[in-house]
Each structure stands twice: as C-alpha cells, then as structure tokens.
Amino acid sequence: MEHDVEQVVKALRCNKNKEECKECRYQRAVYYCDDIKLRKDAADLLTAQQKRIEELEEKRRWIPVEEPPKKNQQVLIYMPRIGPDDLWRERREAWFKDGKFYIPATGEEFFGITKWHPLPAPPEKGE
C-alpha cells in the first residue's frame, strides 16, 4: 500500500490539536491516534525511500573497467589526463566494442581508462 507522505508527516508532527486531528486518517477518537498504524506506515515510507536512494546511487556510480559494459555500448569514460600535473581528469564519450573503448569519431582506441558510466536513455518523444 502506498502511503501519503504528507499525511504521515503531519500525523507524526501532530500535537493533539482538535483542528489538526479532524482530517487525519490516523485519528481514532478526539486526541487519540492509531499510533501502531502510524509507526508502521512511517517505517514503510522510510524503507521505500531508502530503497529508492540506493537505486539512484547505483545508477550514478562510475563502474571500474574490470566490469565491462555491454558489447557495442556507447558510454562515458573516465581516465587520468596526460599533462603537466596528474590532478586533471577527463571524461569523454566512447564506444565499447570487442573488449576495448574507442573514440566514436575516429575509431581510435582509448588507453588509461579507469572507470566508465552508461549514457542515459534518450528522451521520450515529446520531452
């Protein structure tokens, strides 16, 4: 069952004011809430939100090259930039094919890649 976050938060913050309780779905009697149901719904909401946070964090993570992308997948790559100081980093678009990363425009192979990230799905029609 999906819970209305606003209602749960309002009930958790309630200070037993008659006006606040009128439209509260947890009210059993004046100044009395169904605390067991409220706590369960609040726990369910927190669990669902934590799961969603973990899903979003997984989508954002840079993946080590030891975990290769799918064959013929276009990705972003991350590698140390060669230059006067090693603090610079570079991200570029690349194709992954035959176990190697390639520059899309030229077909040249990239070297020194440490991580990669999948590109997002293209926008839906009308977006």
Can you say whether residue 7 is alpha, beta or left, with left for phi > 0 and alpha for psi between -120 and 50 degrees? alpha
* pLDDT of the residue at 54: 93
List of the chain residues with pLDDT < 50? 1, 88
Listed by start position, the domains of the chain span 5-60, 63-118
pLDDT at 1: 45
In the chain, what are the helix, strand and coil shares in percent, each to the nearest 5?
Answer: 30, 25, 45
Q: How far apart are CA 113 and CA 93, in angstroms?
A: 12
